[in-house]
Amino acid sequence: MLRIVNFLLVLLLSGGAAAEVADVYDFSDRAQEQRYQNLIEELRCPKCQNQNIADSNAPISKDMRDAVYRMMKDGASNEEIVESLVGRFGEFVRYKPELDSRTFLLWATPAIAVLGGLLVVAGVVIRSRRAGPESPALSAEEQARVNKMLADQDKPS
């Protein structure tokens, strides 16, 4: 009996739009909430052992999450929010390094590696095309030795 009551209550509550819980932070829509989630996953907790502020329980992480939320509410763009935190805590809190002269090599690594590899492969294929047939041809002298050996073998021992 109690179960049925429970079930009905839940149906009532879940069916009704009014019963929706508040987010820990209030967002106007799912897109905003998703944007917030993405932002806090991109920012690093300055105190922790390599965690983003989404996963970290440290007080400073909470402060940073609050600040991100506040700035989102105030209408700041993603770059502005991140810049504001970087301005206080340093580049360290950015998990996605900005592309500048320092990090150029970093961002270019996959492209360089793949292109370099492709060049090597191209070189290998071209070189193999120039190669002769599979087994190296025998010189005349070697051919004579082979003939002699084969002839010897045919003799009864």
Partner 1 sequence: MYPELGQLALILALLLAVLLSVVPLAGSLTGRDNLQAFARPLASGMFVFVGLAFAVLTHAFVTDDFSVAYVANNSNSLLPWYYKFSAVWGGHEGSLLLWILMLAGWTLAVAIFSRRLPAVMISQVLSVLGMVCVGFLLFIVITSNPFDRLLPNVPADGTDLNPLLQDFGLIVHPPMLYMGYVGFAVAFAFAIAALINGRLDAAWARWSRPWTTVAWAFLSLGIALGSWWAYYELGWGGWWFWDPVENASLLPWLSGTALMHSLAVTEKRGVFKSWTVLLAIVTFALSLLGTFLVRSGVLTSVHAFASDPERGTFLLGLLAVTVIASLALYAFRAPVVHVRSRYGSLSREVFLLLNNVLLVSATLLVAVGTLYPLVLDYLELGKLSIGEPFFNLTFSPLAVATGLLLGAGIFSRWKKTDGGWLARKLLWPLAISIVGTTAVLIGYGGFKPWAFLGIFSALWVTVATFWDLWDKSSSRKGRLHGLKRQSRSYYGMVLGHLGLAITMAGATVVSNYGIERDVRMVPGDVATVGDYQFVFRDIGARQGPNFTAQYGTFDVMLDGERVSVLHPEKRQYSVGMSVMTEADIDAGLFRDIFVAIGERITDEAWAIRLQYKPLVRWLWLGSLFMAAGGFLAIADRRYRIREGADKKAQAGTASPEPGPATSAGATS
Partner 2 sequence: MKRFLLFLPLLVALVVGVVLFAGIGKDPTKLESALVGKPVPEFSLRDLHNPDAMLDQSLFRGQVSLLNVWGTWCPACKDEHDDLMWLAEEKGVNIIGLNYKDNRDDALVWLDRLGDPYRKIIYDPRGTLGFDLGVYGAPETFVIDAGGVVRYRHVGVVNETVWEQTLLPVINDVQGNG
Which pair of structure tokens corresponds to residue 129? 């095309």
Structure tokens at 141: 């002298």
Asked if residue 73 binds partner 2 (CB under 8 A), the reply is: no
Among 51, 54, 60, 76, binds partner 2 (CB under 8 A): 60
Give the residue from 64, 60, 2 showing the smallest Cα distance to 36: 64
CA angle 15, 20, 22 (to 5 degrees): 175
Q: Which of 23, 55, 91, 98 binds partner 2 (CB under 8 A)?
A: 91
Contact pick of 25, 33, 35, 46 for partner 2 (by CB under 8 A):
46
Query: Which range binds partner 2 by CB under 8 A, 5-13, 72-80, 88-96, 132-140?
Result: 88-96
Quick one: CA torsion of 7, 9, 14, 16, rounded to 10 degrees?
140
Q: Which is nearer to partner 2, 49 or 139 (CB)?
A: 49
* 59 contact choice in partner 1, partner 2, none (CB below 5 to 8 Å, kind-dependent): partner 2
